[in-house]
Amino acid sequence: MAIEIHFDAVDGAPIDSATVMVLRDSTRGLEVLMVRRHGDAGVLGGVHVFPGGKLDASDGEAALPGLDHEAGWYAQVLDEPGLAPSVARGLFAAALRETREECALALPADSLWPWSRWITPRQPSVTRKRFDTRFFVAAAPQDQEAVQDNFEATEVVWVLPAEGLRRYWAGEIDLAPPQIMSLVQLARLRSVAEALDAARTRPPALIEPKPFDENGERVICYPGDSAHPVCEPVWIGPTRLRYRNRRFEPEGGLAALLG
């Protein structure tokens, strides 16, 4: 299977969503949990992603044991001071709910830390919908086993971030650009503690990809790229991906992803 490109523009506001990069330490190094979306899924069917999904109306009222802060705390931690308190709080609940539904992990509410925020542009490229997705990081509970639900997710796999990128390059798995770039960042970390410390000590990176077409190929650029309106990079690594060979690749190939 390969990622298919879409060229249509999508009007309307992006859908509030949450996803979780569940991490664990292993003898091989830092591992992250990925799930393979069901092939019939309306968004990114067959692609390996992190557990997650859209905000439900009930998430704003869901219980968050151990994370019962005053209303403005959630938006402050997300670095979105103008976000409605019920939406901000609901994003934490959505992250926990989706992880539980897709791979049977009941994460403690206070284990979540915001990592990044991805806002799909009007030309989504790989979907026909727009999302405003908050990425969280969390340590995996040691006494639980990740198991796919066989409805939304048909496989769960723990991978070293660099291994995930190598498998993508070898054509063994499909990845969308947010997962590619998130694995690039995780590949530079050595442990869960290092990842959580990074999340706690800096605001979540805001990523608003800018797509354009060049020489008949779709290019998606990120902050720090010469074609992006934000001059300062938000990460170390590639600042653009180019759609070729029916997937997204950086200039410099796999070496550019692995640094």
Ranges of the chain with pLDDT below 50: none
Taking only the tens place, the pLDDT of each residue in 77-105 is 999 999 999 999 999 999 999 999 999 99
Residue 2 pLDDT: 66
Asked if residue 195 belongs to a domain, the reply is: yes
State pTM to two decimals. Answer: 0.95
Number of domains in the chain: 1
Asked if residue 118 belongs to a domain, the reply is: yes
Cα separation, 116 vs 133, in Å, equals: 8
* Structural tokens at position 119: 């806002």
Asked if residue 164 belongs to a domain, the reply is: yes
Q: Give, to the nearest 10 degrees, the angle between helix 161-169 and helix 177-186.
A: 140
The CATH number of the domain holding residue 202 is 3.90.79.10
Residue 125 pLDDT: 87
Taking only the tens place, the pLDDT of each residue in 167-184 is 999 999 999 999 999 999
Cα separation, 154 vs 23, in Å, equals: 20
- Supply the range of the domain harboring residue 49: 15-208
Taking only the tens place, the pLDDT of each residue in 216-241 is 899 999 999 999 999 999 998 999 99
End-to-end alpha carbon distance in the chain: 26
Radius of gyration of the chain (CA): 17
Asked if residue 241 belongs to a domain, the reply is: no
Residue 214 pLDDT: 93
Asked if residue 230 belongs to a domain, the reply is: no
Asked if residue 247 belongs to a domain, the reply is: no
The residues near 160 (Cβ < 8 Å, ≥ 6 apart) are 28, 29, 30, 31, 187
Residue 5 pLDDT: 82
Asked if residue 256 belongs to a domain, the reply is: no
Asked if residue 6 belongs to a domain, the reply is: no
Contact between residue 174 and residue 154 where contact means Cβ atoms under 8 Å apart = no
Residue 43 pLDDT: 65
Residue 42 pLDDT: 60
